Amino acid sequence: MRRIESLTAEQERQLVAFREEWLRHGLSTAPADRKRTEEIITDFYRQIGKTKPYFWWSDGLMVSQLAMNLTLRAPKQRAAPARSQKPGTAVEVENNLWANLGANLRANLWANLGANLWANLWANLGANLGDNLRDNLGANLGANLGANLWANLWANLRANLRDNLRDNLRDNLGDNLRANLRDNLRDNLGDNLRANLGDNLGDNLRDNLGDNLRANLWDNLGDNLRDNQLEFFGAYFWGSLEAYWITFYLFPHQFLPLLKPYDTDKANLLMQWADLARSTFWWWPFEGIVFLSERPLSIRKDERTRLHNSNGPAVAFRDGWSVYYWHGVVVPADVIERPEQLTAERIDQEQNVEVRRVMVERMGYERYILESGAQVVHSDDIGILYRKEIPGDEPLVVVHVVNSTPEPDGSLKKYMLRVPPDMKTARGAVAWTFGLKEQEYQPVIQT
Amino acid sequence: MKSQNCMFRQGDVLLRRVKEIPTDAIVTDKKDQFGNDRIVLAYGEVTGHAHAIHDLDNVDVFVKGDGTMYLEVKSEAALQHEEHATITLPAGNYERVIQREYSPEEIRNVAD
């Protein structure tokens, strides 16, 4: 076969279209294709010699986590901590829950549920596939494709989609989910998630596990989870956000047919993974049961593709769990939704430098400077220079500039601009905003 | 009037006199982003307002590769903006400077 040095113009066009198509899949907020997802995962189980599992779908990552916490945490793990067992305490409630759950779960599910199949699936269908594809594609590309083409595929598919899907979204979601579970869940659980869980348990489990279990879960759930450290199940399996991995191998298969980079078995498996990435979000495989999360309801980014939404969550799931970002910085919801309620006092107590900066920006330099007791460093005919010391961060120095043209009501519009912390005079600060030295800034007319 | 003293500020746009326009600056169309006949020095981010010159016969525009804009004002021309008083620019060569704001991570241009 003739060695391919570069893509044809047509293939270049296909590559870009392919990348854009997969970015859309990766960032899809459509409901999962549950039927197709279950078909593929059932076949994965079959390939490693397991029977068809039970599929427990949740509306989002948080409810999936809670569902796994409820069903998978081993009773012996839960009884072990040497904590208070006084009546009414978390541990007492926990043990009570597990005593009730145990009778049902151990008999019905637990014996079969214990093993996490992630490693098994990964070894057989994931790592193995990856190695195989890489070896095959590598060998083929080495023999048949020029280095430029490899770099082109890498840059367009793997690197581009990885930045967009994995680094930006996947890692953020994972980190946030973990933090949320540990820190914030107690507050959130009461209403939103409890209702969701109730619905889920009601719909999914009533028929499967019987009224006894459901009643027990429902009654105990709120108190139990509210007071407990929950376990974060991090070892999810891939869905739409992992498209970056799959497409790199998929493009040669679909668009460079002469290469025939993979044997039939591997090509089929690759197509299954691709199909899965088009159909669903993350999932967690166990012996006998798979937990699956629906995709986000919305994903919002700024022009630099950082997670960002100026008036709501940047990522929201159908189960009510959502995360708020300001240009890539994760912040509490009210910083985005109710910036007018921010106070200088609260901002000054915020420990995280990045979050504090966002808070100041959301509150507005003007209000923050005036409310925080900032010091007037200097004032002249150009404006007023303020300085506010911020523990652990560089000082906030802003110049209050006055527009020379009166507003229709005769007032003069003022605006504040942040300037470098070493500014000493208002004139010098304004000169800096125009890239000039203080003595250079001598406008003959200002309007 | 000394050239370094000859500067005009209209809101967040400053025009400073320069001796000559750099030779690597290229003559540019006197059209705004919608194709209308006017020279726009800066657009407002939200309001749609603009710092603009309509006396097209009196002014030529040059832009360098890095985006720096220069004006050759051949005879008096008016710099207008919806919220600011008009400035009459005397003949001469000018460099356009857009006001910027400091940020610990990055420096952003201001848009009013």
pLDDT tier for residue A222 given thresholds of 50, 70 and 90: very low
Mean of pLDDT values over B76-81:
91
In what side-by-side order are the strands of the sheet with A283-286? A54-58, A289-293, A283-286
pLDDT of residue A359: 93
User: Please, what is the average pLDDT of chain A?
Assistant: 71
**Separation of alpha carbons A77 and B92, rounded Å:** 82
Which tokens sit at A262?
A: 């993979």
Lowest-pLDDT choice from A94-108, A356-370, B9-23 = A94-108
Q: Are A61 and A321 in contact (CB under 8 A)?
A: yes
pLDDT tier for residue A208 given thresholds of 50, 70 and 90: very low
Closest Cβ–Cβ partner in B7, B97, B102 for A418: B102
Tens of pLDDT, residue by residue over A17-40, are: 887 788 788 788 999 999 999 999
pLDDT at B70 over 80: yes
pLDDT of residue A40: 92
Percent of chain A whose predicted confidence (pLDDT) is above 90? 18
Tens of pLDDT, residue by residue over A393-438, are: 888 999 988 766 666 666 666 678 899 999 999 999 999 999 999 9
In this predicted complex, what is the ipTM?
Answer: 0.85
Q: Which residue of B has its CA nearest to A399?
A: B101
Closest Cβ–Cβ partner in B4, B87, B102 for A447: B87
Which tokens sit at A191?
A: 């209403």
Q: Which residues in chain A (319-378) have CB-CB distances under 8 A to chain B?
A: 357
Q: Which residues in chain B (11-50) have CB-CB distances under 8 A to chain A?
A: 11, 14, 16
In what side-by-side order are the strands of the sheet with A296-299? A296-299, A315-317, A322-326, A329-331
Give which of B102, B103, B110 to mutate to test A binding, by max A Cβ within 10 Å.
Answer: B102
Position B92, amino acid: G
pLDDT of residue A112: 44
Q: Does A444 touch chain B (CB under 8 A)?
A: yes
Tens of pLDDT, residue by residue over A97-131, are: 445 444 444 444 444 444 566 666 666 566 555 56
Q: Are A418 and A361 in contact (CB under 8 A)?
A: no
Q: Does A445 touch chain B (CB under 8 A)?
A: yes
Cα-Cα-Cα-Cα torsion A74, A222, A200, A109, nearest 10 degrees, comes to 20
pLDDT of residue A39: 96
Helix axes A128-144, A243-255, angle to 10 degrees: 40
- Alpha-carbon separation of residue A224 from A63, A314, A400, A428 (angstroms): 15, 30, 53, 61
**Separation of alpha carbons A360 and A366, rounded Å:** 9
Q: Which residues in chain B (71-110) have CB-CB distances under 8 A to chain A?
A: 81, 83-87, 97, 99-104, 110
List of chain B residues whose C-beta atoms are within 8 Å of the C-beta of residue A360 = none
pLDDT of residue A444: 81
pTM above 0.95, yes or no: no
**Separation of alpha carbons A144 and A138, rounded Å:** 10
pLDDT of residue A212: 34
pLDDT of residue A362: 93
